[in-house]
Each structure stands twice: as structure tokens, then as C-alpha cells.
Amino acid sequence: MLDVTGIMDIIPHRYPMLLVDRIMEYESCKRIVGLKNVTINEHFFAGHFPGRPVMPGVMIIEALAQTGGVLIAQEFEDIHEYVIFFMTIDNVKFRKPVVPGDQIRLECEVLHFRRKVCRLKGQAFVDGKLVASAEFSSMLVKRDG
């Protein structure tokens, strides 16, 4: 189990783009479960949408990707020498709006992992109901400098 400080030790994201608050479960190179507490203070609610705040779907997918990034990053001792970039995002489905006060359970499982390329399946749940899902591929790229 990791708190937000432990997550920041693994992935480079920071406010306002860090979208994972806690890691609840972890199986090396297999699966991971994270949590995101959605509050009205999120920067995107100022414009999405005034009077009816809804978390943008792309931010839910980013939260899933960051959770998956924590999973993959732990497989590399030298992870701080790399950045993880999206390659593809497929089969994206949004099923229910996510609003302030919701807690998103972010579940990712490894579909394929070879060298520095991985493919994950991610599902996001609120109160046990599926709100979004996607499959995504990422690649580790050596940092400049």
C-alpha cells in the first residue's frame, strides 16, 4: 500500500496532474488498484461544467494510466531515468459521470509487457459501478540530459 508521497516517489506527476491518491493493492507485473478522491477543488471543475461539475473523461483515463504507471515503474530499478508515454488508447468507454465527492477505484491489469513497452486494461469504478474503461499501451523513453 502506498500513500500519495510514495506515489510521487515512483511517478513524476505533481499537482494539478497527479490523479492517484493511494495504491491499495499491487501484484508485481500483474495488477494494481489505486484510489482517487474527487473533490470540488479539482482545477478542471472551474470550466467543466459551471453549475454542474463533471470530471472530464480524459482525466479518468489519465488517472488509470498513472495507476498503471506505478505498476510498471516498480519493475525498473532505474525508472527515474525514464518517462512513460502513451502509445495507444483503445476501446474507451464512459458509462457514468464522475462528480465531486466520488471516490474512484482504479484497477489496471497487465495484458502484455515486454522490455519497455506494456499494454494494460484499466477500469474505473465508483460505488462498485463501472464508470469508465480502456486499454492502453505505453512506452518507457529515456530522459534527455
How crowded is residue 19: how many other Cβ atoms within 10 Å of its Cβ? 24
Q: What is the pLDDT of residue 76?
A: 86
Look at the alpha carbons of 17, 82, 30, 111 in this order and tell me if their dihedral is positive or negative: positive
Look at the alpha carbons of 13, 18, 24, 30 in this order and tell me if their dihedral is positive or negative: negative
Q: How far apart are the C-alpha atoms of 87 and 128, rounded to whole Å? A: 29
Look at the alpha carbons of 19, 22, 28, 30 in this order and tell me if their dihedral is positive or negative: negative
How many domains does the chain fold into? 1
DSSP state of 48: S
Q: What is the pLDDT of residue 77?
A: 84
Q: Which residues contact 94 (CB under 8 A, 6 or more apart)?
A: 57, 60, 131, 132
How crowded is residue 139: how many other Cβ atoms within 10 Å of its Cβ? 15
Q: What is the pLDDT of residue 80?
A: 85
Q: What CATH code is carried by the domain that includes residue 34?
A: 3.10.129.10
Q: How far apart are the C-alpha atoms of 79 and 72, rounded to whole Å? A: 9
Domain range for residue 75?
4-142
The residues that are catalytic are 48
Q: What is the pLDDT of residue 103?
A: 98
Grid coordinates 491499495 are at which residue?
24
**Are the C-beta atoms of residues 130 and 92 closer than 8 Å to each other?**
no
**C-alpha cell, 68:** 498503471
Q: What is the pLDDT of residue 145?
A: 62
Grid coordinates 494494481 are at which residue?
32
The residues that bridge with 141 in the sheet, in sequence order, are 83
User: Model-level pTM?
Assistant: 0.95
pLDDT per residue rounded down to tens, the chain (145 residues) = 999 999 999 999 999 999 999 999 999 999 999 999 999 999 999 999 999 999 999 999 999 999 999 999 988 888 888 889 999 999 999 999 999 999 999 999 999 999 889 999 999 999 999 999 999 999 999 888 6
